[in-house]
């Protein structure tokens, strides 16, 4: 399939790469991977059982046509398998298949597969190439770009990991348009976040339902690329991407994870707006109301079942806390969020009043 009409977004990290976005681009996987792994003899697909059944054959066929000898390993789907044990199993299988440094790994799946496969790629033989093929909207607009990889530990999420950029990202929007509603909405929480933190026009387009899927993915990936370029190793500005997440994680945790990550982030973003309103930081009246309406359009909840007091109790151990202050991401207006360090005492006082 010709790729001239597809969107290519350069990601300018210390090892630059491109995100290819388009309808049906999955059929080009082999050629795309050949572009970035010219020497590779073998391609090793890592996926989960659900995604492999849906898209494994297309990817495998495309890789075989591009001259790769193809290996596949799928683990059981779900966050509970984003573990060191899964990573170890993949590492052992890579050894058994005699995958070398010139070969390439292919992460076919959502954020869980991308994070685990990326982590394995970072540590196997001290680093091999990998390519991301995101199959959820969240993975397409967020986790597949930027090089954060890792696994969960019993003590918490994403506690072991590495920065390791992919060599390419191949994003087929046809896959995303076939996603079940809940998974799609889950990713829309991150999309709406990009509008809120830095792109008023995009937020407006989402508000009016004028953004098509290609635009949604392209604009989001460009937004992430811009932030990652400025702060690849998460030392400052990348924190903006946490908008809604600090509150969201607390909400997810308090719900015993019956609320999804996207639902938590949606409610968390509304909390951040209400907080900004309350302290007079927001320059836009009713910003929480405006955000809530956009969330509703994409079937995301706005109202948290938990109070500010409950959130505070759940948040005191959050990793975004630095000593006696906490870094909040607060909106000045829709399209302009800032990193605001707040003393814990003030934070407690304001939040418990919400």
* Binding region for ligand NAD (CB under 6 A): 48, 50-51, 54, 77-79, 82, 109-113, 115, 135-136, 138-139, 142-143, 146, 148, 157-158, 175, 179-180, 183, 186
How far apart CA 77 and CA 74 sit, in angstroms, is: 9
By beta-carbon proximity to ligand NAD, the closer residue of 22 and 308 is 22
Nearer to ligand NAD, 127 or 343 (CB): 127
Residues facing residue 306 across a β-bridge:
none
Q: Which is nearer to ligand NAD, 245 or 348 (CB)?
A: 245
> Is residue 266 a contact partner of residue 244, using CB atoms and an 8 Å limit?
yes
Q: Which is nearer to ligand NAD, 112 or 276 (CB)?
A: 112
Q: Which uninterrupted H or E stretch holds 122?
A: helix 111-123
What whole-number distance in Å separates Cα of residue 151 and Cα of residue 166?
Answer: 16
d(CA 53, CA 72): 12
Q: Is 165 helix (H, G, I), strand (E, B) or coil?
A: coil
Q: Choose between 149 and 219: whose C-beta lies nearer to ligand NAD.
A: 149
C-beta closer to ligand NAD: residue 103 or 186: 186
| Shortest separation between residue 109's beta carbon and ligand NAD, angstroms | 5
Dist. CA 238–CA 258, nearest whole Å: 28
Nearer to ligand NAD, 79 or 231 (CB): 79
* Of 250, 257, 251, 270, the residue nearest 315 (C-alpha): 250
- Longest C-alpha distance within the chain, in Å? 62
Q: How far apart are CA 305 and CA 258, in angstroms?
A: 12
- State the first-to-last Cα distance of the chain, in angstroms, to the nearest integer: 53
Nearer to ligand NAD, 163 or 281 (CB): 163
Measured CA to CA, the distance from residue 236 to residue 292 in angstroms comes to 28
Q: How far is the CB of 108 from ligand NAD (least distance, A)?
A: 9
Spatial distance between the Cα atoms of 216 and 226, rounded to a whole number of angstroms: 16
Q: What kind and span of H or E run contains 29?
A: helix 29-36
Q: List, as one string, the DSSP characters of 192-261.
A: HHHHHHH-HHHHHHHHTT---HHHHHHHHHHHHHHHHHH-TTSSSGGGGGGTTHHHHHHHHHHTTT-S-H
In the complex with ligand NAD, the residue whose CB is nearer, 183 or 339, is: 183
Residue nearest ligand NAD, Cβ-based: 111
Closest CA to 13 of 139, 138, 125, 166: 166
CB of 323 to ligand NAD, least distance (A): 25
């Amino acid at each position: 399939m010709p790729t001239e009409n597809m969107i290519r977004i350069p990601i300018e990290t210390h090892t630059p790469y491109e995100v290819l976005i388009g309808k049906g681009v999955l059929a080009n996987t082999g050629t795309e991977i050949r572009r970035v792994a010219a020497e590779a003899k073998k391609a090793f697909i890592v996926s989960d059982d659900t995604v492999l059944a849906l898209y494994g054959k297309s990817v495998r066929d495309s890789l075989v046509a591009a001259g790769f000898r193809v290996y596949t390993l799928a683990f059981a789907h779900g966050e509970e398998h984003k573990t060191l044990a899964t990573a170890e199993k993949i590492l052992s299988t890579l050894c058994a298949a005699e995958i070398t440094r010139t070969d390439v790994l292919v992460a076919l799946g959502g954020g869980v597969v991308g994070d685990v496969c990326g982590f394995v790629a970072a540590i196997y033989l001290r680093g091999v190439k990998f390519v991301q093929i995101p199959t959820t909207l969240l993975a397409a607009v967020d986790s597949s770009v930027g090089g954060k990889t890792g696994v969960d530990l019993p003590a918490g999420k994403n506690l072991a990991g590495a920065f390791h950029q992919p060599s390419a990202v191949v994003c087929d929007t046809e896959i995303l348009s076939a996603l079940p509603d809940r998974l799609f909405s889950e990713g829309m929480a991150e999309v709406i976040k990009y509008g809120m933190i830095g792109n008023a026009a995009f937020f407006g387009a989402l508000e009016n339902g004028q953004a098509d899927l290609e635009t949604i993915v392209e604009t989001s990936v460009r937004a992430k690329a811009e932030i990652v370029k400025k702060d690849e190793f998460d030392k400052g500005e990348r924190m903006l991407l946490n908008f809604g997440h600090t509150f969201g994680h607390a909400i997810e945790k308090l719900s015993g994870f019956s609320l999804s990550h996207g639902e938590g982030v949606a409610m968390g973003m509304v909390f951040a707006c209400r907080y900004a309103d309350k302290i007079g930081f927001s320059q836009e009246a009713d910003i929480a109301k405006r955000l809530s309406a956009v969330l509703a359009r994409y079937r995301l909840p706005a109202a948290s079942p938990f109070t500010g007091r409950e959130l505070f109790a759940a948040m005191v151990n959050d990793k975004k806390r630095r000593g006696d202050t906490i870094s909040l991401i607060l909106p000045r207006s829709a399209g302009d969020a800032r990193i605001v360090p707040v003393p814990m005492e003030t934070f407690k006082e304001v939040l418990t009043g919400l």
